Each structure stands twice: as C-alpha cells, then as structure tokens.
Amino acid sequence: MSTDKKETAPEAKDEILEEAPAEAEAVSEEAAAPETAESQEAPKADKKSRREEKKAAKKKDEEKLAALENENAVLNDKYLRICAEYDNFRRRSQKEKDGLYGDIKADTVQKFLPVYDNLERALRQGTEDEAYRKGVEMIMTQFESTLEKLGVTAIECLGEKFDPELHNAVMHVDDEEKGENEIVEVFQKGFKLGDKVIRFAMVKVAN
C-alpha cells in the first residue's frame, strides 16, 4: 500500500507541472492581447487629432483672411470717397477763385468805362486842331487795346436784333424801312467780359 502511494505522487506532480506552464502561457497571451489593440488604436487617435487640428487651423486662417479682405474693401471704399470729395473741393475752389477774379476784374473795368465814354464823345466833336484829334484817337486806340487784352469786348448793337440779355432799350421808333426789334441807334456802348455782361448797351429799337 505504501509503495503505490509513492509511485503515484510523482506522476500527479508532473501532471500539475505540465498544466501550470500551459495555464501561465494562456494568461500571458490574454494579458498581451489588450496591449496590442490599444497600441493599434493610439496612432489612429493621434492622426485623427492632428487632422482635426489642421482643419481648425485652416478654418481659422480662412476666417482671418476673409476679415482682412473685408477690412481692405472698407478702407479702399473710404479712400475712393476721400479722393472724390477732395477732387470736388478742388474744382469748387478753383471755380470760386476764377469767379472771384472775374468779378473783381469786371468791377475794375466798369469803373474805367466813363473814361471811354468821354473819349468817344471827344472824337465825335468837330475840331480844327488835328494834333489834338490825333492825340485823342491814340488814347482811344490804347484804351481799346487794353480792354481787349483783359478779355473785354464791346457788345454788337447797330443793326442787330434787340436782346434783353445784352441791350437796354430806352427808346422805340416806328420805321417801315427797319426790321422788327432792330436796333437803330446806340446811346451808350455796352461791354462784356467773356459771357458776363459788364454794362448793358443803351439803345433805340425800331418797331
């Protein structure tokens, strides 16, 4: 009886030893399996995270670019408006300057017109002193030349149609040989500077 027990004990021990490594190997395989799955999922998560970061950065850059383009459009519009306003201001200033200069010149010329009228009357008077007459004619020629240089011209009257924008009718006469509203006599010559009338011509109108 005791001999049988001794023989069977080592065999049981060997069986236990053979089963133990197998179980340990199974446990190690089970423990290793989850580590492999986690190691495979980790790079995928990192790649996804990097893609999302790049996408967010790209979206942020696009928003920044859109904001800069909008700001640039606003500034460009403001610049164009300022340029247009300055151009209008410059034109208005130049027009006012030209108008002021023309008004001052017209007022100045108007003050000299009585001198012209007196010279004209002197030439209409008969005289035996040819030297005197020649002198008056020279003064009148110089006067008319000065007016011409200033851009002042005489208003056409005799034989022309009456124009209320240029003429001042102080007398009317019926004359079948003359046309309707024809100017037949000039009492005082009129002048204009460009299109601006300095003095209306004083005339007699027929019919």
Span 88-116, pLDDT tens digits: 989 988 888 878 888 899 999 999 999 99
Render pLDDT for 176-205 as a digit per residue (tens, 0 to 9). 888 899 999 999 999 999 889 999 999 999
Q: What is the pLDDT of residue 188?
A: 95
**Phi and psi torsions of 128, nearest 5°:** -90, -10
The answer to whether residue 33 scores a pLDDT higher than 90 is no
Which of 7-11, 48-52, 122-126, 144-148 has the lowest average pLDDT? 7-11
For residues 182 and 158, give the distance between their C-alpha atoms in angstroms, rounded to a whole number.
8
Q: Which domains, and CATH codes, for the chain?
A: 153-207 (2.30.22.10)
Cβ within 8 Å of residue 160, ≥6 positions away? 182, 183
The answer to whether residue 23 scores a pLDDT higher than 60 is no
The answer to whether residue 27 scores a pLDDT higher than 50 is no
Global confidence as pTM: 0.55
